[in-house]
Structure 1
Amino acid sequence: MRKIVLLIAVFNFCFLALNAQSVIIVKGSLSDAISHETLLGATVGIAGGKSMQTGLDGTFTFKLAQKGSYTFHCTYIGYRVLDTTIHISESTHISLKMNGSAAELNTVSITSRRSNETEASAKLDEKNAPQVMNIISAKAIQLSPDIIIANVLQRVSGVSVERSSNGDGRYAIIRGMDQRYNYTLINGIKIPSPDNKNRYVPLDLFPADLVERVEVTKALTPDMEGDAVGGVINMVMKNAPDQLYINASVSTGYSQNLFDRPFKSFPVSAIHMQSPYQANGPSYLAVPADFTRDNLNYTNKSFTPNTMANVSVGNRFFDKKLGVMIGASYQNTYKSYSSIFNPGDQYFDETGAEGTLRIKHAELRDYSTHTTRLGLNGKIDYRINKANRIEADGFYAVLDEAQTRLTTDTLQPAPRVGVGTGQVWWYARSRYQHQTIASATLKGDHAILPGLKFNWTGVYSKANSNVPDLAEYEIDGGYYADGTNPQPYQHPLKTTDYHRIWQSNSDRDVSGYGNLAYNNEIARIPFTLSFGGMYRDKHRNNLYEDYELRTVPNGDGSFQTWTDIYHFNWSVFNPAGSPVNANNYRSGETISAQYGMLKFRVSNLETVVGARVENTDQTYDTDLPVTSAAKSGKISYSDMLPSIHFKYMLNDKTNLRLSYFASVNRPSYFEIVPTLVKGDDYDESGNPNLKHATADNIDLRYELFPNSNEQVLLGAFYKRIQNPIEYGFVGDKFDQYQPNNYGDATNYGFEAVFEKYISRFGVRLNYTYTNSSITTTKIHTVNAVREAINETRPLQGQSAHIANAALLYKDNVHGLDLQLAWQYTGERIALVSPYYNFDVWQKGLSLFDFSGEKRFAKKYAVFIKVQNLLNAADKFYIKKPLSNPYPVPYETAGAAETLTQRSLYGQTYQIGFRYIF
């Protein structure tokens, strides 16, 4: 029996071996005949047989039953059909080349233009760029888990984000340089910021659906504005296509936390958009009836689905001369989360020892945030003739955010001796913010003479922010010890004094740009000589009105007890408001710049060299009394900013780059105004003696682009910043947070990027190491004696380690795309303390997201996005142990560090439908 089984096994093995020998495997690749870019998703078939689409690496595989001559039939949008016959005698690899489609009618050449929305286009432009940059394509954004530009940017090597109070990304930190060291462009033009203090633009305003690509430039050329030490973010909006283009989607979703808790809402319509001073004039004295109570009345909203929609439509008309593209995006989202907030806000002098850390307030905060985001984009261009073209662009973004914050606050020091014996407060805050950015641009491109071109741009843009009637009430309602009773006792809920604040600001830019470029060659060396300049006039208004409402004692002199927002009385302590203060100011700025730049190529070495001169004039005028020394001020300075960029092309797929550029960082408008803004946890003040920072920057990068959507990047960078602007605490009690110049700082590191595809599978990896240092003066206390000593630390916001990884699956035959993405931001300083070794750090944060898309019938798709899959906790801490005599909520006894904040934002789900034509 065993012999029979063995005989059958041997027979089967021989049969399979013979059968395997008879199968011929043909592996192949398909690419562009000129650029050699691999063509992804092209259809390859064998005449009379089956067909397939090329994979993520542009390859295909056929199994043939016998030798012979086979005709391969290849089709791809924008390319001529390829039919080629190849004799196949054994398993082999073949390379097929396709030519772009073009037709010539009389003397007019009509050529299909490659799409700028693809990954292949983004990689090609990265390779050909004269400077160091990274590009994210619209296609990559569409398939990613992200719906706003800020979150898209966290996928770029060397970029992390600072998050808003609802967990979404808001500001980009590039190569460890805080958001102040970067600037933002739309279609290559700088835009103003709605931020009430700073220049940098909150990137959560921008829906991701409207862009054609996002470019992150890390080394400046002379034709770029020079106020970026970290980098430049350019959002390129969709351009007019060569034929009808439609991309539309609608989706819905839900936030995981809202399955478990109600959404706390208040009626935004009840808010008085103008303060009593604004509504009635400077002579008006406010009365209690001028302040609504409805915006502090919270109700539960049980069903809060997220809704999102976007559409982009474009085409060309009149013999392709007129191009039109319009787009709109709308997002309506709800989020809710809880946050533990234990600020290490009490520095305690010890006898015979160093000062220690104590927590005075332990807070539990519940947030509910309703966000509405709207983006509108329009582009029109007209090709007058071969030598002249004009273009008009318009962009408008709106972000409305209504947030409730309900807080329970427990006093931790004595007379508290344990759980239930500390004084307790309850706070409720209603905050509504309306932000807008609008930009209108007119451009012209003209070929004046052979080799001589001129382009110009005129821009009007404006940003606004309005936070009307920021309201918070406070209830003192827990255990308390007064002078007559040293032991804690519980008293009735007590109403307390509070404030109503109106804040608004506007930032208006009028800008003009002009560039002249001459192309020629000398001794067979091609070159481009460019000259240009820009002028910008900026004006900013800032308004701040603060009314203090004080409770009225009962007739018998006792305090009012709390029942609800409608049943207690207050008086207006300052009925005229607070118009005479430095928070009401006007700021102006003019910047003029001129540059010269030479680009030339000798053999495989391309060089860009030049310099830029920028002249800055800043002024401010406040509503302080005329006798105040700091009522107004002015600063002026000029900077020469040289740069040189080398790109050595080892072959058509490999570059070696070396760059140097000088750059600056200007103080923001608020930072030089000697004002004081009250905050939740500390007050902020300006500094009229603040200087602008300057920096020298060096980059070295190796680039390999094996295929059209693959890359390997290895780079290093070094920055030396003179007079960097960092925030620290000042004042007799060190209770004011103020910008200052802190000597010199250095910042260096390296980046690595790897992107590879094998058939249907792909992987994207990037890692950035950054090391920065700055030395500042801190307070050090021993035995209650204070002294100032130096402390060397990283720059605020800089993470030593940033990493991204994504696993991809793409099946073009079945129209399926899947992506699992991971993003890691290492620990970093979130807040600089005035005390030695007491800085607040943000813990390293790992986020996992998922997205998928299934296409069918060529034009339709369904998609899903899931953010924060594992509900990662966002934590902040101080690297010091607590010295409170009694246990503090949420703290671990005996721990070497102190938790100051922990937030759990929960998962967010989205499912939708897309139409593409």
Structure 2
Amino acid sequence: MKKYLFVCLALISLGAAAQTTVKGRILDENNFPLPGAVIAQEEGRYTVSDFDGFFSIYIDGIESVNATVTYTGFENQEIVLDPASDRIQLVVLQPSVNELDEVVVSGFQGGVVKSLNKQKNDINITNVVSADQVGKFPDANIGDALKRISGITMQYDQGEARDIIIRGFSPGLNSVTLNGERIPSAEGDNRRVQMDLIPSDMIQLIEVSKTLTPDMEADAIGGSVNLVTRSNPNGFRLSTSISGGANPVRDGGFNRNMTFILADKLSDKLGYTLSASHNTSDYGSDNIEFEWDDSETPELKEQDIRRYDVKRTRRSIALNLDYDINSTNKIYFKSIYNSRDDWENRFRVRFDDFEDGEVRIRKQTKGGIGNDRNDNRRLEDQRTYKFAFGGEHQIGKLAMDWKYSFSQASEKRPDERYIRFDQKGVAATMDTSNAEFPGFIVAASDLNNTSEFKFKEAQDAQKTTEEDNNSFRINFQLPYSENDYIKFGYKLNQKSKMRDDIWYEYEIDGVDFMSNTSTDDYTVPGYLPGSQYTHGQFATAEYLGGLNFSGGELLFEEFATGNYSADEAVNAAYLMFVDKLGQSTTVIAGARLESTSLDYVGYAYDEEEGANSIADLEEIAGSNNYSNILPNLTVQTKLSENFILNGAYTVGIARPSYFELVPYQAINSADLEIAVGNPDLEATVSNNFDLMGEYYFSNVGLITAGIFAKDIDNWLYLFSDDDYQFRGESYDYEQVRNGRTASVNGFELGLQTRLSFLPGFLGNTTFYGNYTYTNTSTDGVAERGDDVPLVGAAENMFNASLAYESNKFFLRASMNYAGESLDEIGGNIFEDRYYDEQLFIDLNATYSINDRVRIFAEAKNLTNQPLRYYQGLADRTMQLEYYDINWNVGIKVDLR
């Protein structure tokens, strides 16, 4: 390594006198950066501007040279590159007007232009969405914005897009980065980033990379999403928006939103960007759930009728500082803080133990302590913060950049409370004539007679999850001919994660029946799954929150084996060559080495043996070490100025979740269940093949077609066995295991264009659509001889939108469809769990009063699309949850 660095430094010293680096920035007429602009010298040397519009280009000798800046949708501009200047050269482009097509680059089209230019000049296969485009969709969080990108679908929680699926790959096989660095996960048992934690207003650009390059982290088999925050202003900007709306699923369900952006240059060297966002929503959901028994005629084992009342508040603030030391050296500081408080009450009726025409009814109230923070509700307090300090330097011909970052994600659930009452032997009829809406039928008097519901349990839980991530990277780039360069670097990621939960169970003096408590009827008028599902009387959330718990007993079976700690270190190094072959072809060839080490501690608990204290729990430690060499070959050919062909062979990995590796052992004798961890899990490795063609229209549009294939080894699935023999009885056994191989192949089609052929004002209509087909198969699922699809893979995905834009008015209707996908592999086909198809239709409009003030309105989920899972067959409902439509109206002021 020392010898290699010596050779590099020698090359620098030899070329420093002969070449000079000129740096500049490409902006539009409003001082906003233009990413993906091409700056080309007359003799052929060229470069492309980055996310913030900056570029760096070499000049032979000390004389000024001419260059041309090109950007689709803008007029070409001739510039002079002066190597004698020590200042960053600013270039302001003017939008072009094609008299034939009457294309005016403004408003939404301006956002499209930025995205297409960046995407066009990326060598790997990407999809880019700018802040201007995000702002034209009714998306409060970044997850809702992502679902509109080709090949992407989202999984939902309480009606909001949370977990990302790319090309059919489940969330654990994709990565999410913020300004190029991984975001830690606030969830306790996986690496997934909850996308509904991040407000869309905080993001300047979204870049989805479907193929990797060696300088990117390799743990992204499906793809990598990079969220770029606002930074590096070129002048003063002040922008704010305020909106409010309604969620009709609950009386009094309202939305309140506010965003604020302030940016300026304090001097010609120092700039800052301050962004803040606040969003509060009061809403809920109507939910029914079922568990089916595999008998000759399928019957219900269990049924839930659930009411959720939710209040969710997001707060986000970001501060970015940029300091230009001179034209060849700059440093920066980037920071962001996100918090999401989720207050929830749940009222659940459960029917089970059906036998001889009688059923048990269990009623549970879920809430929290009655203090100012919890307010009688379960509080899920999730927070992430991240700060980074880095620099970019030019030393002769050598470009160097470095960054140190620290991030933390946490989730705390303080004083989460439950109280349950049971009634046995209730006369009931099972109705499965309609498997989509089955249920047990009981008399209303049995459902509401509080004196017959006997006190069963009261519990209080304290839950904490935390993940810390320290990261340092350094990259070097050295040209060795006119447009060719070598790039190499090193990165260290150090992570630590822990989950520390504790549960107590309490007796309540003087409470033998529900009638001894404060009760209320929580039946929802117009309950969305159907009026046949009713809730009746429950102990109130206020009663539960006001209980003075004392003298509780530890409930080990609820938390003992879920707690763990893990430390992970990933050392990575890469080397890549970027070669320009002739005038039209660019090749990236290289490899990345990632070395992973992991240490973890878990616990074992057997209910039969029990425990007297936490100290009595058996602690199990383990470790794992492995390395992966990941080759990469990417080729881009420009068949013409606007017709581009991208091809790639890449190798990616996906590390198992921390908790899947922890060697925990949970034995539940009462329910005959065993769950164990698997410290022998291997990382999933995928060989990826991609080919994508893109044709860019002159009137700011794009048509794409591509194919992809992935050969996967050691994919992960949840193995289950309902006849696992233990202690002379049949137990339900679960463990995450490696399958042998899986294959994925598919294609993508996309079209984005203005319908200029339509008559009159209709010619200002824009269409955007994309379709992705994914076919998957797997091998190596234990005790399954059938061809099981890959978990999380939706076969069909389709997005479309139709928009009309004039100088002042903008109207858009958008649709998002994703087909069904396997969610969990059962012991047989009957037990397989599927995430059902979903179709969302949204509508939004904007009217510009003047250049600085806009009013807007938006309506989401016009189809009242529920979250639905089914068991084995599509008509056999496992879970069905409705959220109803919601809408917002507001005003946005941009003082610039």
TM-score, normalising length from structure 2? 0.77
Show the 5 A alignment for 1:507-522.
Answer: 507-521=467-481
Q: Which residue of 2 aligns with 1:838?
A: 831
Partner Cα separation in structure 2 for residue 414 and residue 769 of structure 1: 46
Comparing both chains, which one has the higher relative contact order based on Cα–Cα distances under 8 Å and sequence gaps of 6 or more?
A: 1
Partner of 2:344: 403
Give the 3 Å change call, closer, same or farther, for CA 244–674 of structure 1 in structure 2. same
Q: Give the Cα–Cα distance (whole angstroms) in 1 for the partners of residues 637 and 89 of structure 2.
A: 33
Whether the 8 Å contact between 1:863 and 1:912 is mirrored in structure 2 is yes
CA deviation after TM superposition for structure 1 residue 709, in Å: 3.2
Q: Equivalent of 1:378, from 319, 329, 347?
A: 319
Q: Distance in 1 between matches of 2:860 and 2:514?
A: 46
3-state SS in 2 of match to 1:256: coil
1:545 counterpart residue number: 502
Q: 2:883 and 2:166 mapped to 1: Cα distance?
A: 24
The match for 2:364 among 402, 427, 440 is 427
* d(CA) in 2 for partners of 1:571, 1:719: 56
Match of 1:445 among 371, 392, 410: 392
SS in 1 for 2:636: strand
Query: Which residue of the partner structure matches residue 680 of structure 2?
Result: 689
Q: Check the 8 A contact 1:874/1:902 in 2, yes or no.
A: yes
Q: Residues 504 and 470 from structure 1, CA distance in 2 versus in 1: closer, same or farther, beyond 3 angstroms?
A: same
Shift of 1:506: 1.0
Out of 582, 585, 599, which is 1:605 matched to? 585
Q: Which residue of 2 aligns with 1:13?
A: none
Confirm or deny: 8 A CA contact 1:145 1:866 kept in the other structure: yes
Query: Which residue of the other structure, out of 452, 462, 466, is the alignment partner of 2:408?
Result: 462
CA shift, 1:560, in A, is 7.9
1:243 has 2:235 as partner: yes
Rounded to whole Å, the distance in 2 between the matches of 1:103 and 1:149 is 40
Return the offset for 1:670.
1.0
For residues 72-91 of structure 1, the aligned pairs below 5 Å read none
The amino acid of 1:910's aligned partner reads N
Shift of 1:334: 1.3
User: Which one of the candidate residues 861, 881, 886 is aligned to 1:903?
Assistant: 881
1:583 to 562, 576, 581: 562
Change (3 A) 1:246 1:480: same
Q: Distance in 2 between matches of 1:666 and 1:708?
A: 43
Q: What aligned pairs does 1:667-682 form with structure 2 within 5 A after superposition?
A: 667-675=656-664
Question: What are the superposed Cα offsets for residues 253-288 of structure 1, whole Å, 9 maximum, x if unpaired?
Answer: 110212xxx4xxxxxxxxxxxxxxxxxxxxxxxxxx
Partner residue of 1:506 out of 463, 466, 470 = 466
> Is contact 2:674-2:731 (8 Å) kept?
no
Deviation of residue 122 (structure 1)?
1.2
Q: 1:541 to 1:843 in 2, by over 3 A?
A: closer
Cα distance, 1:362 vs. partner? 1.9
Q: Tell me, yes or no, if the aligned pair for 2:600 and 2:621 is still in contact at 8 Å.
A: yes
Decide which structure has the larger Cα Rg and report it. Answer: 1
- Give 1:525-674 correspondences, 5 Å limit: 526-550=483-507, 562-564=516-518, 574-575=553-554, 581-603=560-582, 604-622=584-602, 631-674=620-663
For residues 633 and 304 of structure 2, what CA distance do their matches in structure 1 show?
Answer: 53
Looking at structure 2, the residues matched to 123 and 129 of structure 1 have their Cα atoms a distance apart, in angstroms, of: 10
Residue 749 of structure 1 and its aligned partner are, at CA, apart by 0.5
Question: What is the letter of the counterpart of residue 438 of structure 1?
Answer: Y
Match for residue 219 of structure 2 among 227, 243, 250:
227
- The match for 2:174 is 182
CA RMSD of aligned residues (A): 3.3
Q: Once the 2 structures are TM-superposed, how far is the Cα of residue 573 of structure 1 from its aligned partner?
A: 5.9
Q: Which residue of 2 aligns with 1:851?
A: 844
- Which segments of 5 or more consecutive residues in structure 2 lack a partner in the other structure? 1-25, 31-52, 54-71, 95-108, 368-377, 429-441, 519-538, 605-613, 757-762
Partner AA of 2:883 in structure 1: Y
Q: Alpha-carbon deviations, 1:426-468, whole Å to 9, x = none?
A: 221123211111111011111111x211111011111111122
Counterpart Cα distance in 2 of 1:98 and 1:678: 70
- Letter matched to residue 170 of structure 2: D
Cα drift, residue 425 of structure 1: 2.1
Q: 1:762 aligns with which of 760, 763, 766?
A: 766
Where 2:119 maps in the other structure, the secondary structure is helix
SS state of the match for residue 151, structure 1? Answer: helix
Letter in 2 for 1:459: S
Distance 1:459 1:113 in 2: 33
- For structure 1, list consecutive stretches of 5 or more residues without a partner in the other structure: 1-36, 42-77, 79-94, 263-302, 351-355, 779-787, 881-895
Quickly say closer, same or farther: Cα 1:496–1:843, change in 2 above 3 A.
same
Given that 2:281 and 2:312 are in contact with CA atoms closer than 8 Å, whether structure 1 keeps it comes out as yes
- Secondary structure of 1:797's match? coil
% identical aligned pairs: 25
Shift of 1:499: 3.1
CA distance in 2: counterparts of 1:579 and 1:408, whole angstroms: 21
CA shift, 1:553, in A, is: 8.8
Q: Indicate yes or no: 2:355 matched with 1:362.
A: no
* Aligned residues of 2:603 and 2:663 also touching (Cα < 8 A): no
- C-alpha distance in 1 between matches for 2:193 and 2:787: 29
Q: Residues 304 and 683 (structure 1 numbering): CA distance in 2 closer, same or farther, change over 3 Å?
A: farther
In structure 2, relative to structure 1, the CA distance for the partners of 1:363 and 1:859 (3 Å cut) is: same
Q: Which residue pairs with 1:807 in the alignment? A: 802
Residue 626 of structure 1: CA displacement?
A: 9.6
SS of the aligned residue for 1:442 comes to: strand
- Give the whole-Å Cα distance in 2 for the aligned partners of 1:683 and 1:401: 31
2:452 match: secondary structure: coil
Shift of the alpha carbon at 1:836?
3.1
How many Å separate the matches in 2 of 1:304 and 1:587?
41
Check 1:387–1:461 CA distance in 2 against 1; reply closer, same or farther (3 A cut): same
What is the match of residue 4 of structure 2? none
- Displacement of 1:762: 0.6
Classify 1:510/1:649 alpha carbon distance in 2 versus 1 (closer, same or farther; 3 Å): same
Q: 1:789 to 1:139 in 2, by over 3 A?
A: closer
2:64 matched residue in structure 1: none
Does residue 869 (structure 1) correspond to residue 862 (structure 2)? The answer is yes
TM-score by length of 1: 0.75
Structure 2 partner of 1:752: 749
Residues 10-409 of structure 1 mapped to structure 2, 5 A cutoff: 98-100=75-77, 107=85, 110-112=89-91, 118-164=111-157, 166-258=158-250, 262=251, 303-319=252-268, 321-344=269-292, 346-348=293-295, 357-409=298-350
Identify the range of structure 1 (603-612 vs 571-580) with the bigger mean alpha-carbon deviation: 571-580
Structure 1 residues 231 and 684: alpha-carbon distance in aligned structure 2, compared to 1, 3 A threshold: farther
Alpha-carbon distance change, 691 to 97 in structure 1, aligned in 2, over 3 angstroms = closer
Read off the aligned partner of 2:247 and give its amino acid letter: S
SS at match of 1:342: strand
1:723-762 paired onto structure 2 within 5 Å = 723-730=714-721, 732=725, 733=730, 735-757=732-754, 758=756, 759-762=763-766
Instruction: Measure how far apart 1:878 and its partner are.
Output: 2.4
Structure 1 position 772, deviation (Å): 0.9
The 3 A distance-change label for structure 1 pair 644 and 101 is closer
- 1:71 aligns to what? none
* Aligned AA (2:304): E
Distance change in 2, residues 1:684/1:186 (3 Å): farther
CA distance in 2, matches of 1:153, 1:683: 38
String of CA shifts for 1:547-590, please: whole Å, max 9, x gaps: 12356798xxx878643355999885625978993433221011
Task: Report how far residue 337 of structure 1 moved.
Answer: 2.0
Distance 1:167 1:219, change over 3 A: same
Q: CA deviation at 1:368?
A: 1.1
Residues in 2 aligned to 1:163 and 1:618: alpha-carbon distance in whole angstroms:
31
On the 8 A contact 1:508/1:539 being kept in 2, the answer is yes
Residue 377 of structure 1: how far off its partner (Å): 1.2
Q: How many residues align?
A: 735
